[in-house]
Amino acid sequence: MSTTRTFQDMLDDYIPDRVFIEEIVRRDFLLSNIERDDDWTGAGGTGGQNGATNSNYVVKFKGAGASSVSYGQLSAAADIAQDKYVRGIITAQKEVWGSMIFNHRDLMENKKISEQKFLDILPNSIEDFADYFKGVISVNLLNGSQFAKLTADGTAGGNIIVDRPDRFVINQKVIVQNNVGVNVTGYVNTIDMDTFTINLTVARYGAGGVVNCAGMLLVDVAQCYNDGAQTAGQPFLSLREALLAATHGGGATLHGQTKTAYPYLQAINIPGDKITATNIMTQIFDALTKVRTFGKGAPKAVIMSYKNYGSAIKSVEDKKGNFNVIPGSQATSEFGWDEITIGSVAKGNLKLVGVQEMDDDIIIFLDWRALKFASNGFIQKVKSPDGLEYFVQRAQTGYQYIIDMCVFGELVVDRPSYCGIIYGISY
């Protein structure tokens, strides 16, 4: 037996904060643009941290506005309607953790590597994981608790075919669960990017044999989750859940209030079953007309997957008489999204944003005033009690160093009626 080594170098004082923190904040569309409230400590009960006695985050909805108008006479005092505000509550912070592990043996064997070499090697590892960590959060905030859907029945040989193989990583822990509550747990053994097939084994590194996925059926809407995300109340609220009506797959309530009780709590929902690759621009502009007619806000951006973004751009190129690209508006961002402003001879201009982490079946009309992310400091590194930014564990196989990052908070959607969403896109 020998001590473990994987040539992953331990985190030490060589890592500058700028590499870690800036990479987390910048590489995501939603997290880069959303308003943040970093002052919610989340401490609950009596005797909480900083003397806090209540963990609740209060969300103030406008349920109704003043509406009393009379012709030819003043409104009777008893008939004057007042503004009505509704108190929503977020009772606790959600939390998500990301962890890395480094082996001390790797450092011992390569102790002659210079400090500069560590700076060359370690930031790449940190950056890759930070991008992955942010991507997991982004998929959750935009689409919901699941990160991929099965497109065929699972097999007894551990194979599942999914719609988004790009969201899987070798050795990743995955929970596959269907809508009748049956689930299996496995670790990603292989990823076939040609057939979109994922093979799951009982233990990491392909050990323990394959997971029997035969019970994960397409008819039961089998989906894939990160560890803990399949449990109700664990993942962050998503825009899908907040903006869709319950009849279309969203939540019946929002921050403790029933959506149908107040128009201000309801985003404009538009069915997308008639959308095709060729008519998508016409359908988007028609939906925008409905959102701006019946909604309360003025959404400026249309958030969509790259599949829908590509179809929209192609549609513009094929129909220059109806739509055109506003000169100078096309931009490809180094931070992971693309955007372009489209002009219509009849319906004005609209900014389309293609986001890699967006699912294909929904398109969101977003007014940024409608949402924010409340937390106690956003994404943070975790320090040990003695101030170190890593934790040491000892075993017969050697020392290991674990680093953790975390987010405690929740997505707050306090003006859903400012937004719209197209659902059920399936071309």
CATH code, 59: 3.30.2400
Counting the structural domains of the chain, the total is 3
* 405 and 290, same domain (yes or no): no
* 117 and 168, same domain (yes or no): no
191 and 244 Cβ atoms separated by less than 8 Å: no
For the chain, residues with pLDDT lower than 50 are: 1, 7-26, 45-53, 113-120, 345-346
* 298 and 316, same domain (yes or no): yes
* 125 and 157, same domain (yes or no): no
Beta strands in 260-395 (DSSP E): 268-271, 301-304, 323-325, 331-332, 337-344, 348-355, 363-366, 371-375, 380-381, 391-395
pLDDT value of residue 380: 82
Name which of 355, 347, 365 is nearest 417 in CA terms: 365
E strand or H helix at 32, and its extent?
helix 29-33
Q: Is 50 left (phi over 0), alpha (psi -120 to 50) or beta?
A: left
pLDDT value of residue 19: 37
The runs of H, that is alpha helices, within 34-174 are 104-109, 115-143
Locate tokens 């985190």: which residue? 11
DSSP conformation class of 334: T
**Does the pTM of the predicted model rise above 0.85?**
no
pLDDT value of residue 12: 44
* 163 and 294, same domain (yes or no): no
| Contacts (Cβ under 8 Å, ≥6 apart) of 273 | 424, 425, 426
* 341 and 385, same domain (yes or no): no
* 21 and 135, same domain (yes or no): yes
* 290 and 219, same domain (yes or no): no
pLDDT value of residue 10: 39
Locate tokens 């043996």: which residue? 105
391 and 402 Cβ atoms separated by less than 8 Å: yes
C-alpha dihedral (350, 356, 361, 365), degrees to nearest 10: -30
What range does the domain containing 120 cover?
17-65+85-142+373-412
Name which of 235, 274, 257 is nearest 138 in CA terms: 235
235 and 140 Cβ atoms separated by less than 8 Å: yes
What is the C-alpha end-to-end distance of the chain, expressed in Å?
55
* 208 and 332, same domain (yes or no): no
Instruction: Please indicate, yes or no, if residue 155 is contained in any of the structural domains.
Output: yes
* 37 and 135, same domain (yes or no): yes
Amino acid making up residue 148: A
Instruction: Please indicate, yes or no, if residue 37 is contained in any of the structural domains.
Output: yes
Instruction: Please indicate, yes or no, if residue 239 is contained in any of the structural domains.
Output: no
Burial of 177 (0-12, 13-18, 19+ CB in 10 A): buried
| Cα 304 from chain centroid (whole Å) | 13
* 199 and 211, same domain (yes or no): yes
CA-to-CA distance for 215 and 314, rounded, in angstroms? Answer: 40
CA-to-CA distance for 360 and 326, rounded, in angstroms? Answer: 25
Instruction: Please indicate, yes or no, if residue 241 is contained in any of the structural domains.
Output: no
CA-to-CA distance for 388 and 393, rounded, in angstroms? Answer: 13
42 and 56 Cβ atoms separated by less than 8 Å: no
CA-to-CA distance for 409 and 427, rounded, in angstroms? Answer: 36
Instruction: Please indicate, yes or no, if residue 231 is contained in any of the structural domains.
Output: no
DSSP conformation class of 388: -
* 165 and 41, same domain (yes or no): no
CA-to-CA distance for 200 and 11, rounded, in angstroms? Answer: 30
